[in-house]
Structure 1
């Protein structure tokens, strides 16, 4: 599957999972039920995914919890305990299946991963510092002197003290005593160097070296031209989202990475200019600040279904 098609499939699965959760929680009123029917009728793919999810729900509803855990889980006591709790409380297995579509199986089985909105930091066996941003998955291998990390999905920041190799789906990033931020996107892995030097080796093509303050995208076929950026500017590692005269649509797309559920906005809001520093730990507060400073309104259908519309003018 091509990268754009994979992104589209994940988005479709995400929408289906959210509709299914709202329906089974009894959250759908008449208007929302009609909206769900319109969503299902949008294409054959929409309806097929919905039917498959409902079919899985019926199948898993009759599977004993221990058997379901044995089928779904790898030999990991902590993960087995979580799944047993989920099954014991009657959680929707179709959502788990849709989650596998949204986050690839490798992501669910990764050594380290974060949920949507979660950030995590830890020290690696060699003393390097690793931070995982929202919805990120990585694998580690430091056995027998190896210094290897695989970025499966999402975004990481590294502050290394020795040699380290990071494998991405498009190539290899080598560094030693360097600081780097890496984010997987549909078009490739965006690599930003905050300290030292790194080498980017695509699957096909020559290696390219980046210096501190430079950023480039590593794709399978090569490396884009480097661009400068302010390496001292705080970012998600400090729990901040900083924008300077940025279109609101761009800000909301970034904010959506940190919010579980549906975040939608009227296209008329796309080009409103935004400047500010926002705390990522409270996305509801960010939406409130936007409503206070821009001509828009925030509508909460549920905690996980939020829409933004232009503020109505009072005659």
Structure 2
């Protein structure tokens, strides 16, 4: 178990670095699924994170700064805490974040900005704000946001890793992916400019969505119905594959959530409450020929069941 705990700590630090590739996420999930001890070790680490929500602010801040500056030191620190425990600490929330506003996994946050614009942060999201006399800039570091702009002479833009989205008096959502950004417009319009291809500009109107990379803008598509239902705590799916539903649901709960290949293509439609993923899983088990295999609350796999 000590070896599994050390590996869990190493994965935790790697997953919370500033840039995480899709390959790293896939490797972590493969590690998590490879051995029940891995899932148990990850569960202990998640429990430690929750307990450190009670730690002193000064201690926590120093620890996080150390984690940001020296990965090896962070690994040693977390491993030590896993060995000695954190009983009795009060008042600090462990987080790798250094952003103006952020949410944890499973959390959403509604904000009214200084200019009157409204901003909703989805699960595991980080943003920085840069408002001055010339501009209103929202920097999306990770996750997804829903923006409803207020009238103001200054332009409002969202900057992702791949480029900028200029609001044209609008309500729109932006999701930071791995190497791409997705924009969905609910009202009015936006203009998209890739970071490495500034001459490319595409306008997206209400009811349209697109994905762009740092050097290319993809085609416009009709936006999915209720695509921003997450802002109201709901996931609305229409004829989705089961593995796609689980991939989306897994964004709102810690640990591993996946399915066996033989059930990945099962299709379903419905409206699910994101605040109660356990109820969603129970609903899937009741409505599909599947059963749920659990090693811990942090390792859940849906497998083929009785027809």
How many residue pairs were aligned? 250
| TM-superposed deviation, 1:177 | 2.1
- 8 A contact 1:194–1:231 mirrored in 2: no
Is the 8 Å Cα contact of residues 118 and 149 (structure 2) preserved in structure 1? yes
Q: Which runs of 5+ in 1 are unaligned?
A: 28-64, 75-82, 94-104
Q: Secondary structure at the match of 2:238?
A: strand
Matched, 1:109 2:124: no
Partner of 1:293: 287
CA contact (8 A) 1:161 1:176 kept: no
- The 3 A distance-change label for structure 1 pair 14 and 150 is farther
- Residues 290, 170 of structure 1: alpha-carbon distance in 2 compared, 3 angstrom cutoff: same
Partner of residue 23, structure 2 = 8
Query: Which residue matches 1:22?
Result: 40
Task: Give yes or no for the alignment of 1:135 onto 2:124.
Answer: yes
Partner of 1:253: 247
| Alignment pair present for 1:195 and 2:183 | no
Change (3 A) 1:143 1:72: same
Compared CA separation, residues 226 and 176, structure 1 to 2 (3 A): same
Distance 2:176 2:245 in 1: 18
Measured on the aligned residues, the alpha-carbon RMSD in Å equals 3.3
| 1:149 match: secondary structure | strand
- Structure 1 residue 226: Cα displacement: 0.8
Match of 2:114 in 1: 125
Deviations 1:122-175 (A, max 9, x none): 111110000011111111112445311101111110000133111111111111
Q: Which residue of 2 aligns with 1:215?
A: 209
Cα offsets for 1:187-207 (capped at 9, x unmatched): 411101101111111121421
- Give the Cα–Cα distance (whole angstroms) in 2 for the partners of residues 195 and 26 of structure 1: 44
Aligned positions of 1:53-202 closer than 5 A = 69-70=61-62, 72-73=64-65, 90-91=81-82, 108-144=97-133, 146-162=135-151, 163-202=155-194
| TM value normalised by structure 1 | 0.70
Q: For the structure 1 residues 291 and 66, does the alpha-carbon distance in structure 2 shift closer, same or farther, using more than 3 Å as the test?
A: same
Taking structure 1 as reference, are residues 298 and 230 closer, same or farther at Cα in structure 2, changes over 3 Å only? closer
Aligned CA distance change for structure 1 residues 5 and 158 (closer, same or farther; 3 Å): closer
1:240 aligned residue: 234
Does 2:217 correspond to 1:228?
no
Question: Post-superposition shift, 1:113?
Answer: 1.2
Q: TM-score, normalised by structure 2?
A: 0.72
2:39–2:296 CA contact under 8 A, matched in 1? no
- The residue number in structure 2 matching 1:307 is 301
State the secondary structure of the residue aligned to 1:73: helix
Aligned residue for 2:262, secondary structure, equals: helix
Gaps of 5+ in 2: 1-18, 46-56, 67-73, 85-94
Q: Quick one: structure 1 residues 197 and 248, their matched pair in 2 at CA, closer, same or farther if it must change by over 3 Å?
A: same
Provide runs of 4+ in structure 1 moved above 6 Å.
Answer: 24-27, 65-68
